[in-house]
Amino acid sequence: MKLRFKFIVVCFTAFAFLLIALQDAKADEQINYDLGLKEVLEYRNTGEYQKAEDLLRKMSNQYPDNTELLGLLGQTLFWNKKYDESIDTYKELINIDPSEETEKEMSKVIKARDEISFGLKKNHLQASTSYFDYTKGLDSERVYSISLSEKIAGKTFVAGYSNVDRFGKNDNQIMLDTYSGLGNRRWGYISLTVSPDAEFLADVTAGFALYQGYKNLDFSLGYTFLNFSSSSVHLLKPGVIAYLSHGLTLNETLFINPDKGTAALISRLEYRSSNRFNAYYSFSTGKSSEEIGAFQDTLEVSTYSHGAGAEYRFRDFFSAGAAYRFTHREMLYDKQGITLFVTYWWE
């Protein structure tokens, strides 16, 4: 019996060493430059950017300081939304072989990263209108809004005005957001709204959020204070943004009301195929609404919602879009409606 056990152990050990040797041999396998390059280009043409990246990294180890491979790797990482890794690759390429063309390519990546991460999009003017219908015999809701986004001295300022009909009442709101980069893959914004003589909206809201990037993730922590005529609300908003491949971005945000011990989680999946088209789907669930349009939205009520929207840029200076939203608040009401908007863009 002991002899049989020793034999099994010896066989298992030999098998393990054989696997390791085979893996080492595979790792040391030489890749033909021309054939490898052809395979990389095929992966890129079919949108298999991760496979192209893996092969390029293996070839770069085999052919160190090869400028052609580094250029292809930087571009592939950019297409796969791995902006920081792409920038690092271009920096390495510039150290080996400085060129104006490489610096232009790196600047393109930095600009794309900043537009997504910092919300620093082109200057624009947007007008929108929303209509929402309620159950339980509640009056419908109408919203008319206009906003202006302007980049000044490296910061983006967004000012807006909204007129809101809800619960048979009418309120006006003025808002101002400021977005700014705060260092290496760090950015944030501050937000302020004022509603003079508000009947249901918050008189004043003030908040901020800080984002820190790591690889293909942006971690965030935000806070918002809302002051209503009868009470005030504090909201904590931790979250994470994951920049996926194929133009997909996943945003997870938790809205926490520590005073009431309630929370709501909203998940938003966005698809951006090009600078001309983007679309999204969102879902939220929790014990309160993540949309705080009135004090009753903070009540501890089981809530879930669905949302979807899309925008298409018909010209470089003009785009239009629409969004649909459904919200269920247990024993209170169901709400559904649509938002339409048009945007004028300029540099």
Ranges of each domain in the chain: 31-116, 121-346
Report H helices in 28-166: 33-45, 49-62, 67-79, 83-96, 100-117
Mean pLDDT across 301-312:
94
Residue reference for tokens 């009056």: 139
SS3 category, 2: helix
Q: Residue 24's CB: how many other CB atoms inside 10 A?
A: 10
pLDDT beyond 80 at 275: no
pLDDT beyond 90 at 146: yes
Q: What pLDDT score does 10 carry?
A: 52
Instruction: Give ∠ CA 308-313-317 in degrees, rounded to 5.
Output: 135
| pLDDT, greater one: 245 or 333 | 333
pTM of model > 0.85: no
Query: How far apart, in whole angstroms, are the C-alpha atoms of residue 280 and residue 22?
Result: 46
For residues 89 and 76, the answer to whether their CB atoms sit within 8 Å is: no
User: What is the enclosing helix (H) or strand (E) of 203?
Assistant: none
Best CATH choice for the domain 121-346 from the list 3.40.190.10, 1.10.1660.10, 3.10.129.10, 2.40.160.40: 2.40.160.40
Mean pLDDT across 10-26:
53
Residue reference for tokens 């608040």: 329
SS3 category, 174: strand
pLDDT tens readout for residues 75-109: 998 888 788 788 888 988 888 888 888 888 888 88
Q: What pLDDT score does 120 carry?
A: 46
**Architecture of the domain defined by 31-116:** Alpha Horseshoe (1.25)
pLDDT beyond 90 at 252: yes
**Alpha-carbon dihedral of residues 124, 125, 131, 134, nearest 10 degrees?**
60
Residue reference for tokens 């945007």: 343
| pLDDT, greater one: 184 or 331 | 331
